[in-house]
Chain A
């Protein structure tokens, strides 16, 4: 049988290493997503306040993450922290910080957009019942916003999961890096290994992100009123 390179995937050791790499990916993604969602809600509500100064500040922050590539941010903090603060942040910490900052900005913008899309008469009729500012948020605005937010928030989550592949550049052992190592190790024996390994990783990303986006579709249906 000609050596197709497929057998690199059949090695238990290789699979175990890829799985560990996947854990690295998911760890960074999950921590960042949780932080982003929580902080993003506050950030977004802050942006809906009609304070010009706060709004401009928030806008600058958001655009800083939109305009500058995430990879540049990762490098900036990874190498910058050593030079400026004389602390050595490890790759995982740097990644979680940058991904959370980015996610918070994007999530905030989603929350802002959704909250301001809720018609003013919803505010007024809630206020007319004597509800306090907080109660209006809690019972009327946030429940409606949540339903509208779900699709774009979940879209953001899948984007974040995908983008974690960048952390390979700050030395984090995640699935892509492990794959590269296996490919390099097998280069001589199995020139086709790269095809199978990257193909496998492709499949893994798909397996993670596809159910998330399916779930979002389902929520959208269930929550439509």
Chain B
């Protein structure tokens, strides 16, 4: 993971996305280096989630380009199917497959999509489960797990594909407050190990702790971009200041 730290892994150029006539993403330029943790914040409806979904092709964009590891996604020799194996994604809704056990949820992608050996993937899956503290739940069905546990499993499921970059879309937003921590801790651990991550979150304290870079979006554009310390201490734009103020009670 860390051997090639510094090279650009994800490059977004002039990305535009419209719903009907309305621009949801209005020209996004963003590049993420290997090992970097970028946190996207901004008011609801500013296009954060849409941006993530465009990055792995769950939403189609109309203009601009997305390059992963230098190759343009969606072109003939680099399909979305191939790109998604390099881009892990975890969603807000706990989205495990309810008819499969935890271990089958994790194995599905690596075995069916990547055609890897079942035994080898199982070893990796067990190690990852161990790391998120859920080794004893491998045979359970999702309904037997709490929200926080499901979300940790969803992270393991994405990790088991050995992605180059992980996308997190407000993964703690629908969790009960006491479960938020366990999920954030897992993400923090990943960040420390050098995983490249693009995170959308409303947890400002977490953003402060985990981010190398804060990307502040508003109205479909990147309004401000700086390192976490600078951003939270002295945001450059009025919009960012106003947004940050909504999180404090004085």
Contact = CB atoms under 8 A, between A and B. Distances in A.
Interface of A: 119, 121-122, 124-132, 135, 139-140, 143-144, 147, 225
Given A128-B58, A130-B85, A144-B98, 19 more contacts: A124-B58, A125-B96, A126-B97, A129-B108, A129-B157, A129-B158, A130-B81, A130-B84, A130-B114, A130-B161, A131-B109, A131-B112, A131-B113, A132-B81, A135-B113, A144-B97, A225-B99, A225-B141, A225-B142
B1 interface: no
A132 B96 CA distance: 17
Contacts, number: 64
Contacts of B99: 143-144, 147, 225
B231 interface: no
Given A128-B56, A225-B98, A139 B91 contact: no
B112 A139 contact: yes
Nearest to B82: A130
Contacts of B143: 225
Contacts of B53: 124
A50 to B, nearest CB: 14
Contacts of B112: 131, 135, 139
Given A139-B108, A225-B141, A225-B143, A129 B95 contact: no
Contact of B97 (A122, A127, A135): A122
Interface in B91-127: 91, 93, 95-99, 108-109, 112-114
A115 to B, nearest CB: 14
Contacts of A144: 97-99
Interface secondary structure of A, over-half rule: helix
Contacts of B113: 129-131, 135
A95 B96 CA distance: 45
Contacts of A124: 53, 58, 91, 95
Q: Which of A121, A125, A126 has the most CB of B within 10 A?
A: A125
Nearest to A125: B95
Interface string B66-91: 00000000000000011011011101
A220 to B, nearest CB: 14
Contacts of A131: 81, 108-109, 112-113
Contact of A127 (B82, B84, B154, B157): B84
B95 A122 contact: yes
A85 to B, nearest CB: 47
Contacts of B93: 119, 121
Contacts of A128: 56, 58, 84, 87-89, 91, 158
B85 to A, nearest CB: 4
B141 to A, nearest CB: 5
A144 B99 CA distance: 7
A15 to B, nearest CB: 46
A125 B157 CA distance: 10
7 contacts: A124-B91, A125-B96, A125-B97, A129-B84, A129-B161, A131-B113, A139-B97
A139 to B, nearest CB: 6
A133 to B, nearest CB: 9
Q: Which of A119, A124, A125, A128 has the most CB of B within 10 A?
A: A128
* Among all A-B residue pairs, the 7 with the closest Cβ atoms: A129-B109, A125-B95, A130-B84, A128-B89, A130-B113, A130-B85, A121-B95
Nearest to B108: A139
A159 to B, nearest CB: 27
Contacts of B98: 144, 225
Q: Which of B91, B97, B157 has the most CB of A within 10 A?
A: B97
Contacts of A139: 97, 108, 112
A135 B112 CA distance: 8
Contacts of A126: 97
A119 B108 CA distance: 19
Contacts of B82: 130
A139 B95 CA distance: 14
Interface string B170-192: 00000000000000000000000
